[in-house]
Structure 1
Amino acid sequence: MSLETDLFSHLRPSEQALTAYGFRKTDDEYLLERAFMGGKFRAVITVHPDGTVSGKVMDTELDEEYIQVHVPGAIGNFAAAVKEAYIAILEDTAKHCFYSVPFASDQANRISEQIFELWHDRPEYTFQDKNYAVFRHQDNEKWYALFMQVDADRIRAGASGQIDVVNLKMPDEQIEALQSISGIYPAWHMNRKHWITVVMDDTLDDAEIMDLLKTSHELTAGRKAGSVHGVWLVPANPSYYDVPAAFKREHGTIRWKQSTDVHVGDIVYMYMGSPYSAIIYRTECVETDIPYHFQNDQVKMRKLMKLKLLHEYRPDEFPFSLLKEYGVRA
């Protein structure tokens, strides 16, 4: 890994700050040239369109690159002094022109933000190595995702550089099939019978990774010993919302107001008001605590849950008259 990659891997450039700092734009890149050590050397720093940074040091007298700054283990007091001065320029550039992001790859950062939007979890750096971060449940503290930046050849034979990956727990019976998909590999540094490693370099799109992540989240959630999934009954007013059309439009999974402590896996029955006046749908909650702010004269919502249709009943199977016999009141 180069000096520049090591320093800027978790940073992203601000175009406005680059210009203010003295970078000039050439085509799609930004270029900075800065003399140092009494004008004997010139740092040439390039910010590329993808946000990566490269650099070199030029010997102004010889008009050639001074490669010692990029040679690992280069010896000599003078070479060390040049390297130290160059690193100081890089660090000052990072301080004034870049902002910090949790992970090196753009996809890893996007997935991290979606995790926060979904479950309000932020990465925890439980290891001394900043390239390893975990996402865990807030109640049982179990991990459901381990983000890592590793040497690419540890995941893909013959690959070079480094790559962001995430370890996810999957049903044992699906592990082998999942590993046949491009971008999914046997788990790195975890039990391969239960976990997989997914590369976050856009081989899989965000939605595909989030689907896998939701499975891992559910498998690691767990409940207290002896507990069972909850069962809920929620009302729906056809005058305000066309539930049948919504299920059809959204391919059997809809978002619904969440006002109770529903958990993923709970069964939710939907009672439809007039003209049905009966339980019409049995659904399973597949996602909870989705932030949503809406209010009108009829309803006030702060969060939603996602319901997957399991069964549709006839109106005469569970009418309100039958529900009253079992103690259900309006």
Structure 2
Amino acid sequence: MITDLFSQQRGQADKLIAYGFKAIAPQYTLTQPLSVANFELTITVSLPNTVTTTVIDRDTQTPYTLYLNASSTGSFVAQVREAVLAALQAVADSCFESDVFSAPIARDLIAYVDQQHHDQLEFLWKKFPNNAVWRRANTKKWYAALLTVTPQKLGLTGDDELTVLDLRLEPDQLSQLIDQQHYFPGYHMNKQHWYTIILNGQVPFEELKQRLEHSYQLAH
């Protein structure tokens, strides 16, 4: 259950410290009461995303481990498991960031948007956890999307999934831009208003920023 929760997340050291974790190199630990019986929960984080838990019965000072075994059933173990998951979810929400888009150019874009517009990626589709969008805070309209697609979706060949950026553009400019090499019809979007760029470095980062800013303006 822990692996699934943090598998595509990256812990942030400053946020862990602010949350109350203590840095004991190379790990971060947090001990807190558990809302079941007289139990105590210790969460240990090794960056970027290795998380372990220990539950101690404070009355006997002995570990309680049944919650870690998926085959263990019963109302009490279910309560403990639920309380541990709730605590872990709170840590994930407060101290971890999505690591779905780990390619350097994608991470640079994420950092740029955060710095320039203070917008965070929104993961809107449970069936597609590797897809996300940015939207303007004032109009709530999307201005960019980071998506994970197979080459075949863009009419290409190959087995490795691609990270792509979808952006807005005026319809009369789209036909002049699309070349099926660097710029493609908007995947998963209205192709009359969106286009797709593969984030493989062939389009310079400065150009990506300029095109993203233009798309931002179109989402007015």
Instruction: Return the TM-score normalized by structure 2.
Output: 0.52
- Structure 1 residue 81: Cα displacement: 1.2
Per-residue Cα deviation, 1:144-199 (whole angstroms, up to 9, x for no partner): 42346xxx5x447566xxx98531247444441216xxxxx874412568511545
Q: Which amino acid aligns with 2:44?
A: I
Of Structure 1 and Structure 2, the greater helix share is in 2
Match of 1:66 in 2: 68
SS in 2 for 1:109: helix
Distance 2:28 2:116 in 1: 33
1:85–1:62 CA distance, 2 compared to 1 (3 A): closer
Seq. identity, %? 14
1:189 aligned residue: 188
Q: Tell me the distance in 2 between the aligned counterparts of 1:32 and 1:11.
A: 14
Which residue identity does 1:81 align to in structure 2?
Q
SS in 2 for 1:110: helix
Q: Distance in 2 between matches of 1:15 and 1:220?
A: 29
1:26 deviates by 2.4
- Corresponding residue pairs, total: 189
Q: 1:176 aligns to what?
A: 180
Distance 1:209 1:123, change over 3 A: same
- Note if contact 1:42-1:58 (Cα within 8 Å) is conserved in structure 2: yes
Quick one: structure 1 residues 53 and 40, their matched pair in 2 at CA, closer, same or farther if it must change by over 3 Å?
same
In the alignment, what sits opposite 1:4?
Answer: 6
Q: Counterparts in 2 of 1:146-165, with a 5 A limit? A: 146-147=145-146, 152=148, 154-155=149-150, 157=159
Q: Structure 1 residues 45 and 3, CA, compared in 2 at 3 Å: closer, same or farther?
A: same
Structure 1 residues 23 and 191: CA distance shift in structure 2, 3 A:
same
| 2:28 pairs with one of 27, 30, 34 | 30
Q: Match for 2:189: what amino acid?
A: M
Larger strand proportion of the pair: 1
Offset at residue 75 of structure 1 (A): 6.3
Contact 1:167/1:187 (8 A) holds in 2: yes
Query: Secondary structure at 1:17's aligned position in 2?
Result: helix
RMSD: 5.3
Conserved? CA contact 2:67–2:80, under 8 Å: no
Letter in structure 1 aligned against 2:52: G
Greater relative contact order (Cα < 8 A, sep 6+)? 2
Structure of larger gyration radius: 1
Structure 1 unaligned runs (5+)? 180-184, 223-330
What corresponds to 2:52 in structure 1? Answer: 55
Cα-to-partner distance string for 1:114-168 (whole Å, 9 max, x where unaligned): 543xxxx85696x6889743345989x97542346xxx5x447566xxx985312
Structure 2 counterpart of 1:280: none
What residue ranges of structure 2 are gaps of 5+ in the alignment?
Answer: 57-61, 102-106, 152-158
